[in-house]
Amino acid sequence: MSDALTPREAIREMAPYSPPSAGRDGKLRLDFNENTIGCSPKVIECVQKYLTADHLTIYPEYQDARRDLGAFFGVTPEEFTITNGTDEAIQILINTFVEDDDQVLVLKPTYAMYRFYAEVAGASVREIKYAADLSFPMTGLLDALRPETRAILIANPNNPTGSAIGLDQIELILETAPDAAVLIDEAYFEFYGVTALRWVNDYKNLFVSRTFSKVYGMAAMRCGCLFTCAENAEWLRKAQSPYSVNMLAAIAARAAVQDREYIGKYVGEVLAARELAYVGFERLGIRYFPSQANFVLFYAGDRAVPLRDALRERGVLVRDRSYEIPGCVRVTIGTRAQIERFLVELESLWSR
């Protein structure tokens, strides 16, 4: 047998990304920042109604979804594209605007897929580290700008830190880097309430992404949106596979945005549970970082990995982040009842 083919250098040099996604069923899943109670019943009803043999024979059509989602987000159908989750949004932005060896700026720590897709494309990735207090490194980011900087990828709020920047800081970045595609990933917008979406026609270098994987409870569907001015969106669609989003996902997204009451109640519950988590951490003397998202990062020191494992044995999943923020663990905020259970288990382990 001949040797296997040699991949591109960019692929050989990449570190693999393998999230711990197996064995989660039946446990309290506070590890992936998902909706912890499930999507709106209207989503299930709509999907079940569509799920027929005849419908599944047809290639996806997106006109109705683009109309309804555009109306919900306050943009025209020409000012966005529906994507296979935020991951595809990142991918098509990079593929459309970044050449080999162009510079891409990302923060560290942040969502791993920014670096992943930039490296796959052969870009030169420069990471700007958050400060020790996890505040946004604005000076470092602006100092890193170069003529060859073609993309700046920012999660707002950021994962895993939970910290966020305001519109004044976003505007400064947009104005300082007019020739770079600036992505503001608003995966956790609903828990923060600050958005740059209204600026997509004011700044031609602005791109805003949203996902249905978090507050809408549809992570398995893989659906999102990437917003920008109509001229940019036309280029993005040219670089996108014509059927990358399955029809069930598009239909589910239409149903999800129609149930605003369900989403509003869930957001309210999460925000109350987040405050409950803060109180619990303070009672136990555990340092934590205030968050603008549906998760909280806390400091467990050299107990981070053992604590994660012990909680898993008790049926509670949390995410170790000590590999990038020493000693830190991230817990997804669900309902108050779920956080109460987490705190009970945490306290019994912490006091040992």
The domain covering 9-38+261-350 belongs, at the CATH homologous superfamily level, to Aspartate Aminotransferase, domain 1 (3.90.1150.10)
Decide if domain 41-259 falls under CATH 2.170.120.20: no
pLDDT in tens, 237-290: 999 999 999 999 999 999 999 999 999 999 999 999 999 999 999 999 999 999
**Percent of the chain scored above 70 by pLDDT?**
98
345: helix, coil or strand? Answer: helix
Is pLDDT of 18 > 80?
Answer: no
Fold: same for 9-38+261-350 and 41-259: no
Q: What is the pLDDT of residue 3?
A: 78
Is pLDDT of 102 > 90?
Answer: yes
Domain locations in the chain?
Answer: 9-38+261-350, 41-259
Q: What is the pLDDT of residue 46?
A: 95
Across 40-48, average pLDDT: 96
Give the Cα separation of 78 and 302 in Å (integer): 51
* pLDDT band of 12, cuts 50, 70, 90: confident
Is pLDDT of 309 > 50?
Answer: yes
pLDDT in tens, 177-220: 999 999 999 999 999 999 999 999 999 999 999 999 999 999 99
Q: What is the pLDDT of residue 1?
A: 47
Is pLDDT of 26 > 90?
Answer: no
DSSP 78: G
DSSP assignment string, 130-195: PPTT----HHHHHHT--TTEEEEEEESS-TTT-----HHHHHHHHHH-TTSEEEEE-TTHHHH---
- Please name the residue that has the structure tokens 């990358």: 244
Q: What is the pLDDT of residue 2?
A: 60
* pLDDT band of 7, cuts 50, 70, 90: confident
Q: What is the pLDDT of residue 79?
A: 98
Nearest to 141 by CA among 104, 114, 95, 179: 104
